[in-house]
Chain A
């Protein structure tokens, strides 16, 4: 059959054969390769940590009936820098302790890596922690402190030493290895504490206000360092703080807590630009946002029955809260609003002022130039209404930034 007929047809058939075989070969190769890739990636995934933490309906009550956590739900993804922020008593440390397993919770589950760990003791949760007061044993040297956990888990001595050297290198503490914590500065102690958390190979590190005992300059430095380490090592960090700057500058995701309830979860800029309510709006930003009680009437906001701000936002007439960030106010000769200067803070690179607009209402303004004003001067200014936030009287967000745009 093959050699029957002319040469051309044979050639064509051969060509066909070659094409089919090559494509078959290619298909097989592709299939094989993809299987290999999928298999390896699966294997990789299994070893390497698909470390999510899920909090499902966490509830915690004290014995006296006081509710510290009411229905906390959150998912913390692998490699995230997750921040729990709130004032003292907001329950942020309680959540951290519940994740670590230091305190029993009344209801709900903590799931780490798709495994329910709610009933597991802390040591089986594969976590490490950095504490506010460093929690270093004063009687042990820096090196002994760092390998404490490894020693507790009976890691071989030479591996301990190797890991110790690696981590000392990471936090730049090589020459302090044999010192006692009592001879170190606060920043160095916190680095030791950090090193101890890193050396354990736990992929999740809990941090409980680790920088609150440091002075401002050192804090800024450590912020950078911790964030850089987290990115470099790809670890998941759950970080408790009361400091809005830390939350803004370090976090991938931020959970804002108030009295045991979640107010909002989001990225720092989401929280800043679209706060769910006045609490969150007030929490972030320094100086804090101006929350002005306004009346909506005839397409304009009325403030104090005295000032009027035109807008095209489509809402019913009535009472609202207008949230204006201090940096979204401009001082101008013929501003729509005016008031008496009651407070001035020269910052060098700018000025923060407070202006009393009557009826016990103050407006905080932040400008980026130096102002030559004295207390009692009359300041007139305009609100950049297209950057303002609009809240219901109960404090829930109605409209963000651009949607509350000005007509003028």
Chain B
């Protein structure tokens, strides 16, 4: 009896590994190998072709932290991440709250609000490129109409970052809206009925019912939007190419520039490792909080 079950177990585990094999191969080629190679390259001095020449330890990293251009792009990235996440969250939450009302025709707005999810980064960026255009763009037309001085959004050092943030927020809105709408709609209606009977104010409902009930989702959306923001590339490439004068040179774009324009692969790898660590940190926080919350909500 025992032998038979052992045999069965061995067979089953062999089958399991067999079924896992394709994913392992794919992940290995496209994820694990590049990742390890990046870690390796970040410790190397590389030639123009990206070949490692010599082990230099953490030299690439220490160089980065003393380099002005990296520190600039790092600071800009933090500013960008902060504002784009905050704006996305606040706007998506307000949109989700208004779209969760039971009004005739609200479904149209729900579709409209979530529609940006289906637009690819490139298409969205080109769309906004036209809107920001100083001659034919919508924004310049509006400024003219309001008799305000023209702003060249994409070549002004301050406004270019604003433009990138605006574009990113617009693109992230759909996803954040959809997830938050789901969370808001999942709140039991009777909680609001209690508030109705007692005549609780709008603010009290928001503070005591809506936000607490959606806080796990808010947190999830924050982290995902944050991670997305750190990885922003397409908008920068199409709208400003990191300009003017590196004012929109976000971290991923800087990595791309270093690796494929400046041909300093070691430096680019070191930046990638830093970015990886940052994102990993946020992911870990998210997992930690999720598990803790999970324990809390299990009783519910």
Chain B residues within 8 Å of A149, by CB: 194, 197-198, 200
Q: Quick check: is A100 within 8 A (CB to CB) of the other chain?
A: yes
- The smallest beta-carbon distance between A145 and chain B, in angstroms, is 9
> Is B197 within 8 A of A129, CB to CB?
yes
Chain B residues within 8 Å of A122, by CB: 193, 196-197, 199
Query: Which chain B residue shows the least CB distance to A149?
Result: B198
Query: Which chain A residue shows the least CB distance to B198?
Result: A149
> Is B193 within 8 A of A152, CB to CB?
no
- The smallest beta-carbon distance between A110 and chain B, in angstroms, is 15
> Is A152 within 8 A of B196, CB to CB?
no
Q: Quick check: is B195 within 8 A (CB to CB) of the other chain?
A: yes
State in angstroms the CA–CA spacing of A132 and B188 once bound together.
12
Q: Quick check: is A121 within 8 A (CB to CB) of the other chain?
A: yes
Chain B residues within 8 Å of A128, by CB: 197
Q: Which of A90-133 contact B (CB under 8 A)?
A: 100-102, 121-125, 127-129, 131-133
State in angstroms the CA–CA spacing of A125 and B208 once bound together.
23
Q: Which of A165-219 contact B (CB under 8 A)?
A: 182-183, 196, 200
State in angstroms the CA–CA spacing of A121 and B193 once bound together.
11
Q: Quick check: is B299 within 8 A (CB to CB) of the other chain?
A: yes
Chain A residues within 8 Å of B200, by CB: 148-149, 152
Q: Quick check: is B201 within 8 A (CB to CB) of the other chain?
A: yes
Knowing A137-B209, A137-B212, A182-B299 are in contact, say whether A123-B190 is a contact too (CB < 8 A).
Answer: no
Q: Quick check: is A226 within 8 A (CB to CB) of the other chain?
A: no
> Is B191 within 8 A of A137, CB to CB?
yes
Q: Quick check: is B23 within 8 A (CB to CB) of the other chain?
A: no
> Is A133 within 8 A of B190, CB to CB?
yes
State in angstroms the CA–CA spacing of A125 and B200 once bound together.
14
Of all A-B residue pairs in the complex, the 10 with the closest CB atoms, nearest first, are: A123-B199, A149-B198, A139-B212, A135-B190, A182-B299, A152-B200, A152-B198, A122-B196, A131-B190, A122-B197
Chain A residues within 8 Å of B190, by CB: 131-133, 135
Query: Interface residue count for A (Cβ, 8 Å)?
Result: 28
> Is A152 within 8 A of B204, CB to CB?
yes
- The smallest beta-carbon distance between B188 and chain A, in angstroms, is 6
State in angstroms the CA–CA spacing of A378 and B289 once bound together.
68
Dominant secondary structure of chain B at its interface with chain A: helix
- The smallest beta-carbon distance between A264 and chain B, in angstroms, is 29
Q: Quick check: is A234 within 8 A (CB to CB) of the other chain?
A: no
- The smallest beta-carbon distance between B167 and chain A, in angstroms, is 36
- The smallest beta-carbon distance between A27 and chain B, in angstroms, is 51
> Is B193 within 8 A of A100, CB to CB?
yes
Knowing A123-B198, A183-B299 are in contact, say whether A129-B212 is a contact too (CB < 8 A).
Answer: no
> Is A148 within 8 A of B199, CB to CB?
no
> Is A135 within 8 A of B199, CB to CB?
no
Q: Quick check: is A140 within 8 A (CB to CB) of the other chain?
A: yes
> Is A137 within 8 A of B193, CB to CB?
no
State in angstroms the CA–CA spacing of A133 and B192 once bound together.
13
State in angstroms the CA–CA spacing of A326 and B64 once bound together.
90
Chain A residues within 8 Å of B201, by CB: 152
Q: Quick check: is A46 within 8 A (CB to CB) of the other chain?
A: no
Q: Which of A222-239 contact B (CB under 8 A)?
A: none
Pull 21 A–B residue pairs with CB atoms less than 8 Å apart, ordered by A: A122-B193, A122-B197, A123-B196, A128-B197, A129-B193, A129-B194, A131-B190, A131-B193, A133-B188, A137-B191, A137-B208, A139-B208, A140-B208, A148-B195, A148-B200, A149-B194, A149-B198, A149-B200, A152-B204, A183-B299, A196-B194
State in angstroms the CA–CA spacing of A127 and B198 once bound together.
9
- 1/0 per position for B181-192, CB-CB distance to A under 8 A? 000000010110
> Looking at A127, A149, A153, which has the most chain B CB atoms within 10 Å of its CB?
A149
> Looking at B196, B198, B209, B212, which has the most chain A CB atoms within 10 Å of its CB?
B198
Q: Quick check: is B68 within 8 A (CB to CB) of the other chain?
A: no
> Is A152 within 8 A of B212, CB to CB?
no
State in angstroms the CA–CA spacing of A334 and B188 once bound together.
60
Chain B residues within 8 Å of A139, by CB: 208, 212-213
> Is B300 within 8 A of A152, CB to CB?
no
Query: Which chain A residue shows the least CB distance to B104?
Result: A63
Query: Which chain A residue shows the least CB distance to B197?
Result: A122
Knowing A137-B212, A138-B300 are in contact, say whether A148-B198 is a contact too (CB < 8 A).
Answer: yes
Q: Quick check: is B120 within 8 A (CB to CB) of the other chain?
A: no
Chain B residues within 8 Å of A148, by CB: 194-195, 198, 200, 208
Q: Quick check: is B5 within 8 A (CB to CB) of the other chain?
A: no
Additional A-B contact list (16), CB under 8 Å, known A131-B194, A183-B299: A121-B199, A122-B193, A123-B198, A125-B197, A128-B197, A129-B194, A131-B190, A132-B190, A137-B209, A137-B212, A148-B194, A149-B194, A153-B199, A182-B297, A182-B299, A182-B300
- The smallest beta-carbon distance between A133 and chain B, in angstroms, is 6
State in angstroms the CA–CA spacing of A100 and B204 once bound together.
20
- The smallest beta-carbon distance between A123 and chain B, in angstroms, is 3
- The smallest beta-carbon distance between A31 and chain B, in angstroms, is 46
Q: Quick check: is B101 within 8 A (CB to CB) of the other chain?
A: no
Chain B residues within 8 Å of A183, by CB: 299
State in angstroms the CA–CA spacing of A189 and B213 once bound together.
18
Chain A residues within 8 Å of B297, by CB: 138, 182
State in angstroms the CA–CA spacing of A125 and B198 once bound together.
10
- 1/0 per position for A148-161, CB-CB distance to B under 8 A? 11011100000000
> Is B191 within 8 A of A200, CB to CB?
no
Query: Which chain A residue shows the least CB distance to B194?
Result: A135
Chain B residues within 8 Å of A153, by CB: 198-199
Contact partner of B196 (CB less than 8 A), chosen from A121, A132, A151, A200, is A121
State in angstroms the CA–CA spacing of A132 and B190 once bound together.
9
Q: Quick check: is B67 within 8 A (CB to CB) of the other chain?
A: no
- 1/0 per position for B64-85, CB-CB distance to A under 8 A? 0000000000000000000000
Chain B residues within 8 Å of A182, by CB: 296-297, 299-300
